[in-house]
Every structure is written in C-alpha cells, then in structure tokens.
Amino acid sequence: MSTVNYSEKIPNNVNLSEDRTLQRALEHWQPGFLNWWQDMGPDGSTAYDVYLRTAVSVDPSGWAQFGYVKMPDYRWGIFLNPADKERKIHFGDHLGEPAWQDVPGEHRANLRRIIVTQGDTEPASVEQQRHLGLTAPSLYDMRNLFQVNVEEGRHLWAMVYLLHRYFGRDGREEAEALLERRSGDANNPRILAAFNEKTPDWLSFFMFTYFTDRDGKFQLCALAESGFDPLARTTKFMLTEEAHHMFVGESGISRIVQRTCEVMNQLKTDDPAKVRAAGAIDLQTIQRYLNFHFSVTIDLFGADQSSNAATFYSSGLKGRFEEGKRTDDHLLKGASYKLLDVSGGALVEKEVPMLNALNEVLRDDYIKDSVAGVQRWNKVIEKAGISFRLKVPHKAFHRQIGTLAGLKVSPEGNVVSEAEWNAHRDEWLPSDEDRAFVASLMGRVIEPGKFAHWIAPPAMGINRQPIDFEYVRFN
C-alpha cells in the first residue's frame, strides 16, 4: 500500500499536512486504532452501510455531512473551534494572562492526566456498547447507536491529537495505552468505574447515553474553559456532537415510557407483572435502571473534597461549568460550599472551602441538568393519565466514591441499616431478574419502519428522513 495522504484521509482544520512529525506520529497510531475498531467496535458490523453524519468543518451552519458509510471507512477527523488570538485565562491564579498555546512545563503532568482520563472514556463506551447492534429495536435505533460509536471514536482522535501534538514521547505512549485498556478487563481496565460496567441491553444503553454522556457534557464544558487553548477549542467542538448522544438517551427512554403507558392504558392496569406479560417494561423497572445509572454516573465527578480539583482550577486547567457566565471573582479563595457529610448515622450539611469542593459543584450542576429530562419523561406519563412519576434518587444513594461511599441510603435519602438495605435492594436497584426480563425482550428488528414492541417509534427521523428510511443496509 502506498503512503496515506493524511491531509486528505483525516479531515482536519489543524494544518496536519504542514506538520510532518505529527503526521508521522498519527500514521503510526492509525493502524492500531483501526485494529482496535475491528476487535472492539460494533460487533459484526464492518460491512454495513450506515447512514451517518460526519463532521467536516466547525462552521455552525453546516458542520456535518450525512451519507452511507461503512464504519471502518468513517473519516475520523480532527477539528478545533476557531482560535481567538486575544483569549485570556479567565479563572484561577493565572487570571488575565494570555491563554496558553503550548503546555506550560509546571502543568504538564496534570494536563496529560486530564486529557488521558477524558480520552479513556471515549473508546470505553464503544467497548461497552459493542454487542447492542445485534439486538437493536429498529434500523433507526441501530443507526443512532453506530452514530454515537463512531463519534466516540472521533473524540478519542481529538484527545490523541492533543497527546501527540503537545506531549512528545509521553503523549505517544499514552495514546498507545488508550488502545490497550479494555472496558471491564480485570488486568487492564478502563480508568473510571462507570466505564467498566456492562451495557447489556437497550434500556441500559439509553440510560447510559442520557446520564453518562451527560457527565461527558459537563466534563467537556469544564475543559472548554481551560487556559490550555487547544484543549478548550477541541472540547468545544466535541460538545457539538455530544448533544445528539444525549438526545438518543432522552428520546429513547421517552419512547419506552410511552409504549409502557400505552400498554398500561390498553390493559387498564398498573400491575408490573401484567405490563411485563404484555411485553413492555414496567415503570418500576425503568425507575430501578434510572437509580443505577444515575448513582454510578454521579460518582464519575470524583471525591466531594479533592485537592486535585482545587489544583486543576487554581492552575487554570479546568474551570467550572459555564465559568465565563459566573459573576464571582473566579479565584474562589475565601469562598465556601455546602456538601453532605455523615454524623451520628445521619446526613448533615457541612461547609468546606469551595476550591476543594469543585467536584461537588460540578456534580450539583450536573444533577440540576439531568433532573430536567426526567421531568420531560414524567410529562409523557402524566399525559397518559397515569399517576406514577420517575425521579432521580438522592445524591447519597448507592455511592462508591467520596464521603458518602458505601453508606446505606435509600433513594429518598434516609440512612438505613444493612438489614433494611438488603430487604429493599431489589426495589431500588435492578435485580438479576429485572435484567433477565429486559434481556428477554431484546431481539433485532431490521425491517425499515418497524419497531420492537417495547418501544414507541420516534416522532421524526434523522436528518429529515422518514422514520421508515433504510438507515442501515446489510451486505
């Protein structure tokens, strides 16, 4: 094979063809990426023609193209939002200094760690979701799954670009390691716990894209404030794609809820057993999956008190969500923040220096945002005239990280005994039996315009195509 022309093969707006060293580094990395995609990408899918969008520029009015693509041929590009030459660091100890176009030596290790941790989540989710194409409830849904998967692949490219471009040999080694770790592997797992969980069925997938891709949104928003300008610019563009991932989750759950309500009304029942017998997912099971995914995802924000979080902020590496819109001093030295603690077997509020609580600040912003979509699901239930309501569990429920780790707390926020926890566990979190039931519904539906019984069709198709469009062609 002749040498690949990377300036053509990898769509980019970073003048790749003018940087031979970087081009060579990416030439070495790309075959490894494609091998990883073959091994760990969507199962059995390499010959399918999938109606995908591909990012082709950063122009807000037309950044993507739609068309049939075989996924291994997807043009994983490198796009950074346009540079603002006047941009200043707008928080922390370097406030008011020009944004960095290169990595400052003293922040090199921390920046690398931030980029690697973000980068690791991208291929991890593809690995977690790799079998779902085999049980897609429709061609429309299968296409959305693959769209999310190829874009997570592009997000990996985005982080690998930064590692190769700005971190020399260490960066290249980290880029290799990103292809070597595997979700759920006992010996070489992905970095963060939620990315080592299984995503075995489509209810899990939609919960994951609603809750866990939204964690991605908040992390990317915090990094989009970074004083390291290339990181800020690349994460800003990643957010453009991320919106669709959360849409897939929100609309997916909404359609499941809609189908369940239809079945409940047809049968005039709120008995979960009858709903299940009719082939729909009872609202109680949906609530338990919600409890699981919410609690596992809020752990991703890290310990509630963290000196790393303070360092990342004060050194200008990672801001708060919407840092630029906040009106405080952006230094936070004397500020405090309330978080939860345990005292005498009860949850109490405790005031701590805000700089140390920045993980909690981001977690609380995330919680506010994720509650909004749950209210939209409740509108569907309300419209159907059913009194059940979904809700996010208390922040202290089922936590594994920080002060609240391992504490036994009910979804309502009451500290309970070990015995009470055990007695209620299967009401609060998906049981093996729940998971087996949901698994029993999964089966591939590939006739255009047809949908599995447990999920309603979407309101409209992708890119103004009809719902019965042939979103995936099998070869």
Output 92 or 216, the one with its CB closest to Fe ion: 216
Tell me the closest approach of the beta carbon of residue 32 to Fe ion, in angstroms.
19
Instruction: Indicate the residue type of 392.
Output: V
Output 142 or 158, the one with its CB closest to Fe ion: 158
Output 208 or 451, the one with its CB closest to Fe ion: 208
Tell me the closest approach of the beta carbon of residue 150 to Fe ion, in angstroms.
11
Applying CB under 5 A, does 245 fall inside the site for Fe ion?
Answer: yes
φ/ψ region of 102 (left if φ > 0, alpha if ψ in -120 to 50, else beta) reads: beta
Tell me the closest approach of the beta carbon of residue 213 to Fe ion, in angstroms.
4
Selected from 112, 155, 217, 435, the binder of Fe ion by CB under 5 A is 155
What DSSP element (H or E) covers 50? strand 49-55
Tell me the closest approach of the beta carbon of residue 209 to Fe ion, in angstroms.
7
Pick the piece of the chain touching Fe ion (CB under 5 A) from 13-21, 151-159, 271-279, 305-313. Answer: 151-159
Pick the piece of the chain touching Fe ion (CB under 5 A) from 112-120, 214-222, 351-359, 429-437. Answer: 214-222
Tallying the residues shown for the chain, one arrives at 475
Compute the distance between CA of residue 3 and CA of residue 187 in angstroms, rounded to an integer: 36
- Count Cβ atoms within 10 A of the Cβ of residue 238 and give its class: 0-12 exposed, 13-18 middle, 19 or more buried: buried
Tell me the closest approach of the beta carbon of residue 270 to Fe ion, in angstroms.
35
Return the residues of window 374-393 that contact Fe ion according to CB under 5 A. Answer: none
DSSP per position, 140-199: HHHHHHHHHHHHHHHHHHHHHHHHHHHSHHHHHHHHHHHHH--TT-SSS--SSGGGGS--
Contact assessment for residue 32 and residue 76, using Cβ atoms and an 8 Å cutoff: no
Query: What six digits make up the tokens of 41?
Result: 């990408």
Compute the distance between CA of residue 139 and CA of residue 230 in angstroms, rounded to an integer: 37
Output 143 or 276, the one with its CB closest to Fe ion: 143
Output 118 or 315, the one with its CB closest to Fe ion: 118
Output 174 or 213, the one with its CB closest to Fe ion: 213
Pick the piece of the chain touching Fe ion (CB under 5 A) from 107-115, 211-219, 316-324, 416-424. Answer: 211-219
Tell me the closest approach of the beta carbon of residue 286 to Fe ion, in angstroms.
22
Q: Which residues contact 67 (CB under 8 A, 6 or more apart)?
A: 51, 52, 54
Return the residues of window 74-133 that contact Fe ion according to CB under 5 A. Answer: 122
Contact assessment for residue 5 and residue 50, using Cβ atoms and an 8 Å cutoff: no
Q: How many residues bind Fe ion (CB under 5 A)?
A: 7
Query: What six digits make up the tokens of 180?
Result: 């070597």
Return the residues of window 305-334 that contact Fe ion according to CB under 5 A. Answer: none
Output 305 or 370, the one with its CB closest to Fe ion: 370
Pick the piece of the chain touching Fe ion (CB under 5 A) from 242-250, 258-266, 311-319, 337-345. Answer: 242-250
Q: Which residues contact 299 (CB under 8 A, 6 or more apart)?
A: 193, 194, 399, 400, 401, 402
What DSSP element (H or E) covers 251? helix 229-267
Binding site for Fe ion (CB under 5 A): 122, 152, 155, 213, 216, 242, 245
